[in-house]
Structure 1
Amino acid sequence: MNVGIVAQRGNERAATLAGRLQETLREDSVTVRIDAATAERLGTDGVDVSEMAGNDLVVSIGGDGTFLFAASGAGGTPILGVNLGEVGFLNAVAPEDAVDEVRAVVEEYYASETIPSREVPRLRAMGNDDWSVHPALNEIVVQGAQRGHGQGLDYEVHVDGIEYGSGHADGVLVSTPTGSTAYNLSEGGPLVHPGVDGLVLTEMCATDPMPPLVFDPDHEVEIHVENAPFAVVGSDGTQVRIEPPETITVSLSPEPARIAGPSPNFFGALSKLD
Structure 2
Amino acid sequence: MSEFHNIGLIGRTESESAVLSLKRLMAFLEQEGFDVVLEKETATAISNHGARISKREKLGELCDLVIVVGGDGSLLGAARALAKFSVPLLGINRGRLGFLTDITPDEIEDKVGEVLSGKYMAESRFLLDMSVTRNGKPVGHGSALNDVVIHPGEFIRMIEFDLFIDGQFVYTQRSDGLIISTPTGSTAYALSGGGPIMHPKLDAIVLVPLNPHTLSSRPIVVEGSSEFKIIIGKHNIAKPHVTCDGHDQVITQPGDVVRIHKKPHRLTLIHPIDHNFYETCRTKLNWQSGA
Pick from 62, 70, 73: which aligns with 2:78? 70
Give 2:240's aligned residue. 231
What is the aligned partner in structure 2 of residue 24 from structure 1? 28
Count of matched residue positions in the alignment of Structure 1 and Structure 2 = 267
Corresponding residue number in structure 2 for 1:266: 277
User: Partners of 2:248 and 2:155 in 1: how far apart?
Assistant: 15
- Matched ranges for 1:123-272 at <5 A: 123-128=128-133, 129-130=137-138, 133-148=141-156, 151-208=157-214, 210-226=217-233, 227-244=236-253, 245-262=255-272, 264-271=275-282, 272=284
Separation in 2, partners of 1:63, 1:237:
14
Structure 2 contact 94–105 (Cα < 8 Å) conserved: yes
Instruction: Report the Cα offset of residue 131 of structure 1.
Output: 5.0
Q: Residue type of the partner of 1:77?
A: V
C-alpha displacement of 1:125:
0.8
Alpha-carbon displacement from aligned partner over 1:177-230 (angstroms, at most 9, x marks no partner): 110111111212112122332110111122125210011111111111132453
Assess if the C-alpha contact under 8 Å between 1:233 and 1:240 holds in 2.
yes
Q: TM-score, normalised by structure 1?
A: 0.86
Aligned to 1:5: 9
Q: CA deviation at 1:246?
A: 0.8
- Alignment of 1:95 onto 2:100: no
Deviation at residue 6 of structure 1 after TM alignment = 1.5
- Using the size of structure 2 for normalisation, the TM-score is 0.82
Report the CA distance between 1:80 and its aligned residue.
0.5
Deviation at 1:138, TM superposition (A): 0.4
Q: CA deviation at 1:118?
A: 1.8
The residue type equivalent to 1:81 in the other structure is G
Deviations 1:62-120 (A, max 9, x none): 221221122122222100111233432112222222233334444449xxxxx962211
Q: Give how far 1:46 is off.
A: 4.5
Structure 1 regions of 5+ residues with no counterpart? 110-114
The alpha carbon displacement at 1:15 in A equals 0.9
Give the distance between the partners of 1:153 and 1:273, measured in 2 at CA: 31
Gaps of 5+ in 2: 287-291
2:67 alignment partner, one of 50, 59, 64: 59
For each residue in 1:141-162, what CA deviation from the matched residue of structure 2 results, as whole angstroms up to 9, or x when unmatched? 12223352xx242101111112
Alpha-carbon shift at residue 57 of structure 1 (Å): 0.8
Of 255-264 and 197-206, more deviation after overlay is shown by: 255-264
Q: Does the aligned pair in 1 maintain the 2:142–2:248 contact within 8 Å?
A: no
Identity value in percent: 28
Q: Choose between structure 1 and 2: higher strand proportion.
A: 2
- Alpha-carbon shift at residue 124 of structure 1 (Å): 0.9
Determine the C-alpha separation between the residues in 1 that align with 2:149 and 2:59: 25
- Aligned mates of 1:167, 1:229 — CA distance in 2: 15
